[in-house]
């Protein structure tokens, strides 16, 4: 799987005309001073091979940092493809020191088949007493 982090405007221009966009919203809790895995993106084809996807950060967090790491899922994790070690990208959020409140990250993912997904993550960082 090839992962390209590029500007949001460039990704939208690369999307095929008429592509349907799926919107996914999730809530995540992160603790001050710790990395929290927000999401893992990857693509598996119907033939049980690693597919390609373009992943763009459409909105960076305002009160923390976002990092990504390439990874593999163990064989057997995907029931319909038991022998596949899927290649993925894991994204982690770390709040700024002393921050408590809400932050947000938005990704746009375009598969090699042209499917567009917008993933919005609302991140709650509780106050440390």
Over residues 90-104, the mean pLDDT reads 96
Taking alpha carbons only, the member of 24, 71, 78 closest to residue 49 is 78
Q: Quote the Cα angle for 50-54-55, to 5°.
A: 110
Model pLDDT, residue 79? 94
Measure the CA–CA gap between 65 and 95, rounded to whole angstroms: 6
Please write the tens of the pLDDT for every residue from 28-37: 999 988 999 9
More confident site: 113 or 38: 38
Which domains, from first to last, does the chain contain? 8-125 (2.60.40)
Question: How much is the pTM?
Answer: 0.80
Please answer whether residues 123 and 106 qualify as being in contact, where contact means their C-beta atoms are separated by less than 8 angstroms.
no
Q: What is the 3-state secondary structure (H, E, C) of 72-103?
A: ECCCCCCCCCCCCCCEEEEEEEEECCCCCEEE
Model pLDDT, residue 4? 37
Model pLDDT, residue 114? 87
User: Per-residue pLDDT for 14 more than 60?
Assistant: no
User: Per-residue pLDDT for 7 more than 90?
Assistant: no
Please write the tens of the pLDDT for every residue from 19-28: 567 899 999 9
Model pLDDT, residue 120? 97
Taking alpha carbons only, the member of 121, 110, 91 closest to residue 16 is 110
Over residues 82-87, the mean pLDDT reads 96
Q: Where are the alpha helices (DSSP H) in the chain?
A: 8-14
Tell me what the pLDDT averaged over the chain comes to: 85
Helix (H) or strand (E) holding 114: none
Band of residue 78 on the pLDDT scale cut at 50, 70, 90: very high
């Amino acid at each position: 799987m090839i992962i390209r982090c590029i500007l949001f405007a460039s990704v939208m221009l690369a999307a095929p005309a008429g592509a349907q966009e799926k919107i996914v919203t999730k809530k995540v809790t992160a603790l001050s001073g710790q990395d929290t895995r927000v999401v893992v993106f990857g693509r598996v084809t119907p033939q049980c091979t690693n597919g390609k996807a373009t992943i763009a950060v459409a909105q960076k967090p305002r009160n923390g940092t976002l990092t990504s790491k390439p990874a593999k899922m163990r064989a057997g994790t995907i029931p319909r493809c038991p022998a596949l070690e899927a290649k993925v990208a894991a994204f982690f959020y770390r709040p700024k020191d002393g921050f408590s409140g809400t932050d947000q990250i938005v990704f746009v993912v375009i598969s090699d088949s042209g499917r567009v997904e917008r993933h919005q993550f609302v991140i709650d960082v509780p106050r440390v007493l």
